Amino acid sequence: AQKVTQAQTEISVVEKEDVTLDCVYETRDTTYYLFWYKQPPSGELVFLIRRNSFDEQNEISGRYSWNFQKSTSSFNFTITASQVVDSAVYFCASARSGAGSYQLTFGKGTKLSVIP
């Protein structure tokens, strides 16, 4: 069974500070995918990134960056120079195989509050 742990329940930062959201995963699959989603107050989950287990390269997209380390089973997410619009709940998820399809296992989320 897969498991995703987001140990940080809530984080508050002042605008323009950098912040890192932690994600630790457990899986027995040799091939798997990891995801980050953002859930703003409106409720809709917004896809941010997908990472294949074979690709450990870090990725940067604007102010967002992701650090994938198989050795520590972690897939951490950093926001640089945070903004108020970054305030949301962020979910890390892994895709597990089952009955011919891939199903997502979500962590419990980290609520980020960016204070102006």
Partner 1 sequence: DGGITQSPKYLFRKEGQNVTLSCEQNLNHDAMYWYRQDPGQGLRLIYYSQIVNDFQKGDIAEGYSVSREKKESFPLTVTSAQKNPTAFYLCASSPTAARDTQYFGPGTRLTVL
For residues 42 and 29, what is the distance between their CA atoms, to the nearest angstrom? 34
Residues 33-62 that bind partner 1 (CB under 8 A): 33, 35, 37, 42-47, 50
To partner 1, the closest distance from the beta carbon of 108 in angstroms equals 5
19 binds partner 1 (CB under 8 A): no
Coil vs helix vs strand at 85: helix
Count CA atoms closer than 13 A to 56's CA, side-chain side: 6
Query: Near partner 1 by CB under 8 A, which window of 22-30, 62-70, 80-88, 98-106?
Result: 98-106
4 binds partner 1 (CB under 8 A): yes
